[in-house]
Amino acid sequence: MNCPRRQPKLGRAEALLRNKRSQKAIQLSSKLIGMEGDPDLQFLLQGGDLLKVRSPSWKKTRYFKLQEDCKTVWHESKKTFRRKQTFSLDDIAAVRMGRQSEGLRKYTEEQVEIRCFSIMFKGRRKNLDLIASSEEEAKQWVSSLEKMVSRLKNLSCQQKTEHWILSCLRKADKNKDDKLSPSEVKNFFRLINIDVEDEYAEMLFKKCDKSNSGYLTGEEIQHLYELLTQREEIDVIYGEYARTTGFMNSENIVDFLMKEQREKATLEDARRIIEKYEPDENVKEKKLLSKDGFLMYMQHPEALILNSDHTEVYQDMSQPLNHYFISSSHNTYLMEDQLKGPSSTEAYIRALLKGCRCVELDCWDGSDDEPVIYHGYTLTSKILFKDAIKAIKEYAFKTSDYPVILSLENHCSVEQQKVMAHHMNSILGSALITAPLGQGMPTEFPSPEELKGKFLIKGKRLNKLEAIYASEEAADNTDVTEEDESNDEDEEKEGEQAKKKKKLKLAKELSDMVIYCKSVHFHGFEDAAQNLSFYEMSSFKEGKAVGLAEESANAFIRHNVDKLSRIYPAGTRTDSSNYDPVPLWNAGCQIVALNFQTNCTDMDVNQGRFLVNGKSGYILKPAYMRDLATDFDPITLTRGDWLKHKTLHVMIISAQQLPKVNKKKSSIVDPLVKVEVFGVPADVAEKETNAIENNGFNPAWNENFQFDVYVPDLALVRFLVEDHDSTSDNEFVGQYTLPFNSLKMGYRHVPLLNKNGDLLPSAGLFVHIMVVDA
């Protein structure tokens, strides 16, 4: 199987030359990523045949091979040699051994399990389902790919930049002679997203062409790279503090950290920075930090704009569950829209891996007595309920250890409800909460800490939880009024006729699994306070919830002090679009459910809200939103503990290696940066820089903005980069959102995420942040 493919015939000398160049390129790429001679890398570079699976009848052999850049995988058809396809290792989300994908489970037999593996991609790209010739070969592919993906992910910012520029240089060298002509240099500039005047390009070329040969080679190309990657703003900052023979010593570093970065720092901290980041051993021996070492430190996660202490769980996790904002998904099973899009267990996996802690399951009767999940009365595809539960069980606690809520929308017959209960019991086992924790009837929720590794069921219950302690047995198949979220759209269209409440027969086995999240209808805040127990919760359609948040914000906040509220998108959002979650968080709502499959500003903000506290999916609400007597109202903002007026000063200095929006070679971005503040209405603001024409490689702005922030506990800051277009809407380039209280002050790099919320390698902003009491 693992044999090299035959290449087109070449002259012997040409073949030897091409092979020599290829080996040289591989050597350079592998050296840059620190994997010279690595056996896993060599295996991928050699490549081999794999059986690609798309359906029961479509299973075809394809040759897969890692290219010279050690980053791009190329595969082709045996029949049509010219038909090539590639994907980047950066686009791989996971590599899974066995028949773990829906495709492999559906289209292959159990006996090939040990030879199967799947490559799962970020975003909406379909999985690649593959079968190797043996178990050993499948394991080799999986381990080698995982090793490479991990290695590329953990490269320093400088290594990523060098690797990217090297690949652009290789693409620009059209005739593969390891030399760059003036026209190839111009092409190289376009590839790195910068358009320069002919005169400037010629000046740079002449500056680097020391040999006057009319082309650049070897050290001359290296000189061109150094000229392009020179960071003047870094030179200025470093020069201010490099007072020891042109280098920074420990005292200089402490001085910089305390004066510019507003951090507490000791000489021991400075010595650790030198030891960890200084690349030149001679400089390190002298206990000094060079400019390269300084830049490496400034680009490391510990020095970025996000407070590195907040990347771990740092909040008190022993408060009752309803005292936290909880990362929540709506129609979790959908990969796309709500009318004809595919349902998939992969959608659950993706949401859980993003830290989602509340997933939704729309359950309907299926064939062969097996319940299915899909969006009722639509053309969305169906998945088995048990397959969804298996996927949830496997991936629930990979990103976060804290509890997962399974929000059931139950349309099943009593018999299939019993099947649902059986599957959850047998698959989730002891991780499923089926009785209150502790002794006696609880009076409040347990904490996320107490519920670590556990599953909670949200759904209808036949009786009060207190019945457990009163030895009351609920009758089987009792009628309960159904809370049917899927009919909201029908209600809007058909008026009063559609609002007649249905009756649902509820199986006792399923009812008994609902402990802390019993679904009930909402009849007003006063009724809830008087008649509902802490574990009885309501779901609100976005329109109703926003209305309550605007008109009765304080009452909503008090309601959420001892109860849970779930908010979900209107049924009219058939395209799976989202709503703004911020006003609902401002009203203390915990489970603000969004369509995770849809890329939009609202999901960016959601990702920013749950970026911190170890991406646990739980964010502790401020103390004044956990107090039943609170007077906090985000609309009126009367005086209280919540009012901590701050002034945020932001200087947008520069950007580095912004990606192309339009993949055409001639297309160069015209970037501008927007700084947006989300929070209580008084804090919402947006300001933007001017656009820089034809430079996505190293644009500089040096523009200052100022914002008033009155309730910092609830505020988020978003940095958005767009490609300016004077004739139509600007195009998205990248963004980064984080809580206001997680901002670090001073000179900071800001990483950028793409539309899917994944990190853009090499790309980023450089800013200066200052927060002062107003």
Nearest-angstrom CA–CA distance, 369 and 353: 30
Bridging pattern class, strands 455-459 and 517-519 = parallel
The count of residues in the chain is 774
CA distances from 761 to 156, 166, 346 (A): 10, 14, 25
Token digits of residue 40: 């896993």
Nearest-angstrom CA–CA distance, 501 and 402: 36
DSSP state of 737: E
Nearest-angstrom CA–CA distance, 228 and 237: 19
Nearest-angstrom CA–CA distance, 705 and 691: 15
Q: Which residues pair with 471 in a beta bridge?
A: none
Residue that has been written with the tokens 């240089």 in this structure: 169
Nearest-angstrom CA–CA distance, 98 and 115: 7
DSSP state of 59: E
Nearest-angstrom CA–CA distance, 568 and 584: 11
Spot the catalytic one: 75, 310, 330, 749.
Answer: 330
Nearest-angstrom CA–CA distance, 209 and 217: 8
Closest CA to 681 of 723, 662, 709, 660: 709
Nearest-angstrom CA–CA distance, 701 and 548: 42
Sheet holding 92-97, edge to edge: 84-88, 72-77, 59-66, 48-53, 128-131, 116-121, 92-97
What Rg, from alpha-carbon coordinates, does the chain have?
29
User: Angle at CA 242, nearest 5°, toward 239 and 244?
Assistant: 140
Phi-psi region of 145 (alpha: psi -120 to 50; beta: other; left: phi over 0): alpha
Residue that has been written with the tokens 């990702």 in this structure: 607
Token digits of residue 263: 């951090």
Helix (H, G, I), strand (E, B) or coil at 247: strand
Token digits of residue 646: 């701050």
Q: Which residues pair with 517 in a beta bridge?
A: 458
Computed from CA positions of residues 437, 443, 445, 446, in that sequence, does the dihedral angle turn out positive or negative? negative
Nearest-angstrom CA–CA distance, 494 and 94: 45
Residue type, 472: E
Spot the catalytic one: 75, 310, 323, 375.
Answer: 375
Computed from CA positions of residues 526, 531, 532, 534, in that sequence, does the dihedral angle turn out positive or negative? positive
Token digits of residue 537: 């919760």
User: Angle at CA 413, nearest 5°, toward 409 and 416?
Assistant: 85
CB distance 608 to 757 below 8 Å: no
- Phi, psi of 239, rounded to the nearest 5 degrees: -60, -30
CB distance 582 to 546 below 8 Å: no
Computed from CA positions of residues 433, 435, 439, 440, in that sequence, does the dihedral angle turn out positive or negative? positive
Q: Is there a catalytic annotation at residue 330?
A: yes
CB distance 428 to 455 below 8 Å: yes
Token digits of residue 653: 């200095």
Helix (H, G, I), strand (E, B) or coil at 574: coil
Nearest-angstrom CA–CA distance, 607 and 736: 9
Bridging pattern class, strands 565-568 and 536-541 = parallel
Bridging pattern class, strands 383-384 and 372-373 = antiparallel
Residue that has been written with the tokens 């299939």 in this structure: 416
The catalytic site residues sit at: 330, 375
